[in-house]
């Protein structure tokens, strides 16, 4: 459970030191309609091209676009691609680059030829020297990195195995960061996780994880078992395994594994999605959030990234829209009846592996206290259902003269909030029947309740769900508002 706005504000105060393999990403888009007469190869009629900062540089771009500051240390060659990257980084707001130049190697450059119509990668051409930096360049990198540590809140190592993150560079950075109590996140490339020993979090994809752990990594349980052994070897606090359309699994050294399903999106391009995940984890953890919050934010950011073309960066506004979707439905479309409409929606959400939350109340006069509970409830789940007491129910609970607004008006006001996905009006005095039908993963109430007082707690917990209590804002109560309004008229 987290407050998105407060977290965004905290992210803006963080500085990430990012170190890794910088590269120039080029995308050539065109149409393929014929085969070359010279060879059995497709001919692409080029329509446009794009050039982006790629590799670890894309991680830095994502850190900055999410609102944090980034100090970036990387390696370039004495060539046109290196000069392009240096100029492009200098133009990027929020990034301070420290680039080491190696005249003996080319700047890593990748050119992708993409069919515009089908959004399909036809061919990729690479210019690179994928071998460890020489001893003198290695020392220059260490000398460039270590003085920056004191200014950073967190360190992010983005390893593309192009030569920057040698075993010696990695060891120097992690050891120095630990002495300064700076968390270290590593997006690893080496199958030997031991070289990252002492990092806080490793973020391999499923293929990298399976190769490093020599496990099948084909289920949440097998990933969790292999991760625990790997964490002992790497002496890290947690391991996150990204699994493309199957979501992400985070295994902390202490506590239970956490899995989140991938957001259902149309995938346009997966280039750089791992960069977005690493950057999001870094800024969120630096801001003081816990593992689950960081995981959910990174998962949402990945969904935004893969829905874009090319090497994409994600903004805080885009992330907010994914975490708290726009109220794209008209208010009346969010108000459903118990039974058929609700059951169909629940079935669709669960088919996509979405976490359903529930809260309830009379919501007679919507005030900031209500908004805080609803926003916190939505942050703890993927879809939020609000149970709303009917007019007859409110009258029985609150007495004559209540509700002030009828149930339709109250439902429409709730449905207009972007934190609310569905509103269901119920006739009983308590929502116990509704909770039994929904079986939410999380049940949220205000902190003026104790867990034992929350109606439906036993049902939710029996199905593996949890009850969350949100601290209430003092001074806000519908009853007191109504009493003051009536007193002013007397």
DSSP 8-state secondary structure symbol assigned to residue 283: H
CA atoms within 13 A on the CB side of 252: 10
Helices (H), 380-421: 391-398, 407-415
Distance (Å, rounded) from C-alpha 203 to C-alpha 436?
A: 38
Please state whether beta strands 422-426 and 335-336 pair in parallel, antiparallel, or not at all (unpaired). Answer: parallel
pLDDT of residue 328: 46
The answer to pTM > 0.75 is no
Least confident of 28-32, 237-241, 307-311, 481-485: 481-485
Of the pLDDT bands very low, low, confident and very high (cuts 50, 70, 90), residue 74 is very high
Least confident of 88-102, 305-319, 321-335, 439-453: 321-335
pLDDT of residue 327: 45
Q: Regarding predicted confidence, which is higher, 135 or 313?
A: 135
- Apex 310 CA angle, 304 and 312, nearest 5: 40
Contact 141, 75 (CB under 8 A): yes
Distance (Å, rounded) from C-alpha 244 to C-alpha 302?
A: 9
Of the pLDDT bands very low, low, confident and very high (cuts 50, 70, 90), residue 447 is confident
Ordered structural domains, the chain, with CATH = 4-323 (3.40.1190.20), 331-489 (3.40.50.620)
Residue 30: other Cβ atoms inside 10 A:
18
Q: Which residue has the tokens 């090497």?
A: 311
What are the pLDDT digits (tens) for 278-302? Answer: 999 999 999 999 999 999 999 999 9
Own/partner contacts of 174-179, CB < 8 Å, gap of 24 or more, are: 174/198, 174/199, 176/146, 176/149, 177/149
Structure tokens at 74: 């990387």
Q: Which residue has the tokens 């630096």?
A: 286
DSSP-assigned beta bridge partners for residue 238: 201, 252
Which residues are annotated as catalytic? 275
Q: Is the pLDDT score of 164 beyond 90?
A: yes
Structure tokens at 129: 């020297």
pLDDT of residue 435: 96
Q: Is the pLDDT score of 331 beyond 90?
A: no
Q: Is the peptide bond before 150 cis (omega within 30 degrees of 0)?
A: no
Q: Is the pLDDT score of 225 beyond 50?
A: yes
CA dihedral 455, 456, 461, 466 (to 10 degrees): -60
The per-residue DSSP string of 224-256 comes to HHHHHHHHHHHT-SEEEEE-GGG-EEEEESSS-
Q: Which residue has the tokens 């609102």?
A: 67
Helix 291-306, helix 316-323: angle, nearest 10: 110
Q: 267: which residues sit within 8 A by CB, 6+ positions away?
A: 245, 306, 307
pLDDT of residue 134: 97
The mean pLDDT value for 138-151 works out to 98
pLDDT of residue 483: 60
Please state whether beta strands 258-260 and 248-252 pair in parallel, antiparallel, or not at all (unpaired). Answer: antiparallel
Structure tokens at 229: 């052994």
The mean pLDDT value for 345-354 works out to 82
In terms of Cβ atoms closer than 10 Å to its own Cβ (0-12, 13-18, 19+), residue 332 is exposed
Q: Is the pLDDT score of 403 beyond 60?
A: yes
Helices (H), 180-240: 206-213, 220-234
Query: pLDDT over 70 for what percent of the chain?
Result: 93
Of the pLDDT bands very low, low, confident and very high (cuts 50, 70, 90), residue 455 is very high
Helix, strand and coil in the chain, % to nearest 5 = 40, 25, 35
Phi, psi of 22 (to 5 degrees): -85, 145
Average pLDDT value over all residues in the chain: 90
pLDDT of residue 340: 62
Contact 73, 141 (CB under 8 A): yes
- Apex 364 CA angle, 360 and 370, nearest 5: 55
Q: Regarding predicted confidence, which is higher, 224 or 348?
A: 224
Q: Regarding predicted confidence, which is higher, 454 or 327?
A: 454
pLDDT of residue 428: 93
pLDDT of residue 489: 63
């Amino acid at each position: 459970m987290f407050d998105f706005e407060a977290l965004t504000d905290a992210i803006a105060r963080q500085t990430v030191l990012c170190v890794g393999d910088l590269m120039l990403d080029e995308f050539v888009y065109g149409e393929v309609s014929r085969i070359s007469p010279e060879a059995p190869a497709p001919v692409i009629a080029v329509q446009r091209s794009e050039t982006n900062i790629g590799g670890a540089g894309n991680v830095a771009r994502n850190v900055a676009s999410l609102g944090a500051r980034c100090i970036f240390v990387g390696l370039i060659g004495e060539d046109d691609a290196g000069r392009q990257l240096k100029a492009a980084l200098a133009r990027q707001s929020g990034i301070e680059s420290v680039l080491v130049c190696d005249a003996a190697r080319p700047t890593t450059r990748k050119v992708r030829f993409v069919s515009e119509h089908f959004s399909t990668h036809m061919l990729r051409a690479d210019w690179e020297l994928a071998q460890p930096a020489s001893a003198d360049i290695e020392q220059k990198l260490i000398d460039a990195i270590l003085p920056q540590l004191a200014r950073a809140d967190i360190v992010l190592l983005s390893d593309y195995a192009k030569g920057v993150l040698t075993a010696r560079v990695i060891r120097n950075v992690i050891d120095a960061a630990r002495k300064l109590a700076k968390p270290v996140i590593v997006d690893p490339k080496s199958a030997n996780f031991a070289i990252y020993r002492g990092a806080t979090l490793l973020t391999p994809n499923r293929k990298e994880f399976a190769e490093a752990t020599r496990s099948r990594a084909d289920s949440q349980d097998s990933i969790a078992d292999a991760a625990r052994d790997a964490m002992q070897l790497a002496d890290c606090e947690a391991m996150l395994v990204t699994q493309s359309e199957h979501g992400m699994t985070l295994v902390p050294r202490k506590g239970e594994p956490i899995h989140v399903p991938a957001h259902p999106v149309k995938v346009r391009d997966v280039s750089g999605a791992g960069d977005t995940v690493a950057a999001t984890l870094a800024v969120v953890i630096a801001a003081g959030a816990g593992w689950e919050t960081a995981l959910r934010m990174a998962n949402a950011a990945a969904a935004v990234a893969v829905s874009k073309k090319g090497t994409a960066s994600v903004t805080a506004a885009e992330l907010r829209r994914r975490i708290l979707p726009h109220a794209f439905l008209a208010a009346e479309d969010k108000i459903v009846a118990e039974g058929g409409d609700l059951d169909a929606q629940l079935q669709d959400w669960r088919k996509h592996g979405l976490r359903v939350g529930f809260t309830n109340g009379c919501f007679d006069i919507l005030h900031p206290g209500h908004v805080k509970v609803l926003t916190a409830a939505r942050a703890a789940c993927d879809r939020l259902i609000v149970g709303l007491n009917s007019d007859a129910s409110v009258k029985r609970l609150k007495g004559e003269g209540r509700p002030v607004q009828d149930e339709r008006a109250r439902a429409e006001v709730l449905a207009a909030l972007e934190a609310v996905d569905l509103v269901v009006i119920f006739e009983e005095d308590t929502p116990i029947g509704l909770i039994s039908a929904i079986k939410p993963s999380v049940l949220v109430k205000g902190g003026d309740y104790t867990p034992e007082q929350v109606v439906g707690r036993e049902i939710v917990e029996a199905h593996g769900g949890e009850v969350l209590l949100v601290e209430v804002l003092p001074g806000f109560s519908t009853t007191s508002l109504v009493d003051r309004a009536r007193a002013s008229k007397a």
